[in-house]
Each structure stands twice: as structure tokens, then as C-alpha cells.
Amino acid sequence: EAAAPHTHEKREHWSGQTAFILAAIGSAVGLGNIWRFPGEAYDNGGGAFMIPYVVALLTAGIPILFLENAIGHRFRGSSPLAMRRVHRRAEGVGWFHVAICFVIGLYYTAVIAWALSYFFFSFTLAYKDDPAGFFTGEYLQLGEAGTVSLSFVPHVLIPLAAIWIITIVVLALGLHNGVERLNVIGIPLLVATFGILVVRALTLPGAADGIDALFTPDFSALTDPNVWIAAYGQIFFSLSLAYGVMLTYASYRRRRSNITSPGLVIAFGNSSFEVLAGIGVFATVGFLAHQQDVPVAELDGLAGPILSFVTFPAVIAQMPGGPLFGALFFGSLVVAGLTSLISVMQTISAALQDKFGLHPRGSAVAVGVVSAVLSIIGFGTTTGLYLLDVVDQWSNQLGIVAGAIAMIAAALWFGGRSRELQRHLSAVSTLKLGTWWLVLVNAVSVLLIYMFATKAVSL
Ligand code: PHE
């Protein structure tokens, strides 16, 4: 037991398949499902977005999830180690994943911290008089628009520090007692709280109009390549694909494990939650439109941080039972975000363990403390909201596409691992993968290269 747990024979592992599935769902279901998806869907043709979205899930999400899980499981390592075993020159691909995780971790924490503050604000409806002014003024203390300064914002600093402390403690408790336990408790809790929230939202006056706005198809959107790019981007972000997270989590499964069927559970579980969140959010927005007596299409602020931190508070303030609704909403955001954040930090920590032979606890504390300091400087100050946008563009839209292409190229094109991985996926799994899987992954990578080029040009 006391022997170095980082060596491969003693690699930490999940207690079983269910633990793995819950942890992977914990990573996938996050802020992306609750505030990114509804806005993306709404901006990209409403109901018509569902077609590219489902196509993206089936053609890219699931096949690449299989690929990442297979690499992690077969080569038994964090992203850099596993990628080096895939191809001796590919360790850098793994470090690229780790770097993106590091960036995501910094800003993700900031949003969770805001949600934690708003969880408490909800009890007294502190934001009720002027939700927009409250968010940027009183809470974030932004000066005139566009000014960036490095003064600390005490309201943000405290929740930010709290989130980091929780994160470091969970990571330091280890994979089994920390990460796994957080997810085994957190995910069922999240499903329950969010379920209550959606039911409540659906019974608000105007709910149907909101849902209509989200699902009314605009078929002309289907011919717009940007809509397709958005759908693929959403699937990657939402399933935590190409960040090395799913790879690392799969490396903690026991040697003889079914990989494909759990992959399907993770992918469909995540998308179900996402669509449910879309319904809940837009039902609520429909109520706001009803209150203001305007069509949903004329409301502003239906995407990004504004949706959760300005529009939602405005609705909560007007609704019967608002404080409870607000607490459930922001509490759900905190739990969903925390289980994703942990997966990102575990991915970084695992890479350092594998590379330098660090003990899991030491590695977790080191990674946590460095990230905490940087995130407090970046987001505990008034630069936060500005940074968020920049980071989102570069890491979530460009970085992961590059990370996915590099991973596929290293494993299938240069590493020649295609058949080996296909056989590995089919060896113990109940669902066997035919050559169609390889065809899909290769086809998707061509599409990704196209997306990457278009996006890079537009930035
Ligand atoms: N999948 C998470 C979400 O939907 C985000 C995430 C991305 C988590 C990458 C981990 C790694 O919010």
C-alpha cells in the first residue's frame, strides 16, 4: 500500500465500472451543458441546431470518445505518457492537452466561484433591483467598459479561494476517496436538483413560448457551415473530448474492462442532460418574456455569462418561490462545474505524477496551489470578465480542435495504431467496433482540419 502508487503496476483505479461512468459524466456535464448549450442552440437556428448536434454526437463525439478511452486504457497513462507510448514523438500532444486543461481550469474556477456567490445571493435575492448593474458593478466591480486593471475584487476572491481549497482537498484525497466519491455523491444530487428545477420551470406561465423559441427549426441554418462548426465545437467541449481528460480517466480502469458500452452511456447521458438543461433554461426565459409581454426573440442576454448571471437573476427575482429556484440553479451550476473542474485538475496532476514520479497527493497540491495563485490573479481581479472571452476563443474553439487532430494523427496516421486500438476496443467490450469506426474517425479528422482552418482565419 505504502509503495509508490505512481508506478504503473500500482496505478490508482476506480472501484468499478459505475464509478468510472459517473466520474466521466461528472466531467462531461458541466457549465457547458447549462449555459453554453442553450445559447449555442438558440444562436444557431434553434430547433434546426438539433440536427447538426445529433450528427456531431454520432459522427464525432462517440467515435472520438472511444478513441480517447482506448488510448488511455491500452497505454495506461496520463495524456503525455500514453501518447509517448503511442508514438515516441507524440509526448508533446499530451502536454498540449495538459496545457489546455490548465487554461480551462483557471477560468472555469472563476465561473464556479461566481455561481457560489450567487447561490448565497439567491436566498435574499440580493441582485433583485438591478441584475445587470449588480453583476458588473457591485459584484465584479468593473469600472468603465473596457478598462482593465489589476485591483482585487473581494467579493470574488473569497468564493474563488473556497473553490480552490475544495478542489485541492478532493484531489489530495486521491482518485478513489476524493475524485470518485465527489462524483458518486455529486452526480445523483445534480440530477435530482436539476430535475426539480426543470419541472418547476415547465410549470411557469410562458414556459411553452420559451421552449418554442429554442426548438422552432430554422432550416436555412443547415446550409451555414458555421452552424455545423458550432455543433461540433459544442459536442467536443461538452464531452470533454481532446483535453486528455477522458484518456486519463480511462487509464484508471482495470485491465479487462468493457470500454464501448460505458462510452455510449456517457455520451447519451451527457447529451440528455444538455437537452434537458436547454429546456429548463428556455422555459424560464419564456416566463421572463411573458412577464415583460414581449416575444422571446426580442429578449437580449440569452447566451454566455450574461444568461446565467444577469438574465436568470432577473427571472428569479420575479418568480414565486424565486429564492429556492435561484439556490437550486446556482447550486446545480456549482456541483456541475466542480466535478468538471476536478477532472481537468486530475488530468494535469496525473501527467506530473507519471512524468516526475510524484506522489498523487504532492502532485495534486502542487498543481492546485499554482493554479489557485494564477486564477486569483487573473480572475480575482477586475480583468476576469475580459479574460473569459479571450480564453474561450483560443482554448475552447481553436485549441481543442488542434488537440483532437494531433491525437488522431499521432495514433492512427503516424503511430499506425488503428487496428491495435480497434481490436483493443472490441476485445472485452460487449459492443464490437467494425472498420466503420476507423473510417469515421479519419473522416472526422478531415472535417476538423477544415474547421480549424476556418476558425484560425476568422480569429
Ligand atoms: N465538459 C465540460 C462542460 O460541459 C467542460 C470541460 C471541458 C470539462 C474540458 C473538462 C474538460 O462544461
389, 305 contact by CB (below 8 A):
no
Nearest Cα to Cα of residue 65 among 451, 449, 444:
444
Nearest atom within ligand 1 for CA of residue 245? 11
- For ligand 1, atom 7: residue with the closest CA: 240
Number of domains the chain is built from: 1
The answer to whether position 50 is within a domain reads yes
Name the strand (E) or helix (H) holding 404.
helix 400-408
Distance of CA 44 to the CA centre of its chain: 20
Residue 248, ligand 1, Cβ within 6 A: no
Which of 43-47, 174-178, 303-307, 394-398 is most confident? 174-178
Q: Rounded to an integer, what distance in angstroms lies between the CA atom of residue 36 and that of residue 31?
A: 7
Cα 148 to middle of ligand 1, angstroms? 27
3-class state of residue 124 by DSSP? helix
Band of the pLDDT at 382, cuts 50, 70, 90? low
131, 313 contact by CB (below 8 A):
yes
Cα 312 to middle of ligand 1, angstroms? 22
Q: Taking all residues of the chain, what is their mean pLDDT, rounded to a whole number?
A: 90
Q: Could you identify the residue written with the cell 422552432? A: 216
The one-letter code for the residue type at 69 is N
307, 38 contact by CB (below 8 A):
yes
- The pLDDT tens digits for 323-363 are 999 999 999 999 999 999 999 999 999 999 999 999 999 99
Cα 237 to middle of ligand 1, angstroms? 6
Band of the pLDDT at 147, cuts 50, 70, 90? low
Burial of 436 per CB tally in 10 Å (0-12, 13-18, 19+): exposed
- Residue 361's pLDDT is 92
Per-residue pLDDT at 148 exceeds 60: no
Per-residue pLDDT, averaged over 161-165, amounts to 95
**DSSP annotation string for 231-290:** HHHHHHHHTTTTSSHHHHHHHTS-SS---HHHHHHHHHHHHHHHHHHHHHHHHHHHHHHH
177, 14 contact by CB (below 8 A):
no
- Residue 348's pLDDT is 98
Residue 240, ligand 1, Cβ within 6 A: yes
Q: Rounded to an integer, what distance in angstroms lies between the CA atom of residue 423 and that of residue 439?
A: 15
The answer to whether position 376 is within a domain reads yes
**Helix 181-202, helix 322-356: angle, nearest 10:** 150
Any idea which of 70-84, 166-180, 271-285, 369-383 has the lowest mean pLDDT?
369-383
In Å, what is the CA distance from 130 to each residue of 53, 133, 428? 35, 5, 57
In Å, what is the CA distance from 445 to each residue of 55, 231, 352, 365, 403? 15, 15, 29, 36, 11
Domain of 246, CATH number, reads 1.10.4160.10
3-class state of residue 415 by DSSP? coil
Residue 352, ligand 1, Cβ within 6 A: no
The answer to whether position 5 is within a domain reads no
Counting ligand 1 atoms within 8 A of each CB, the residue from 100, 240, 334, 388 with the most, and so the one to mutate, is 240
Nearest atom within ligand 1 for CA of residue 340? 8
Residue 153, ligand 1, Cβ within 6 A: no
Residue 61, ligand 1, Cβ within 6 A: no
Cα 29 to middle of ligand 1, angstroms? 7
Band of the pLDDT at 383, cuts 50, 70, 90? low
Radius of gyration in angstroms for the set of CA atoms belonging to the chain, rounded to a whole number: 21
107 vs 143, residue with greater confidence: 107
The answer to whether position 7 is within a domain reads no
The answer to whether position 382 is within a domain reads yes
The one-letter code for the residue type at 232 is Y
Cα 264 to middle of ligand 1, angstroms? 17
Band of the pLDDT at 104, cuts 50, 70, 90? confident
337, 125 contact by CB (below 8 A):
no
* Full domain range(s) for residue 423: 16-458
The answer to whether position 4 is within a domain reads no
Burial of 349 per CB tally in 10 Å (0-12, 13-18, 19+): buried
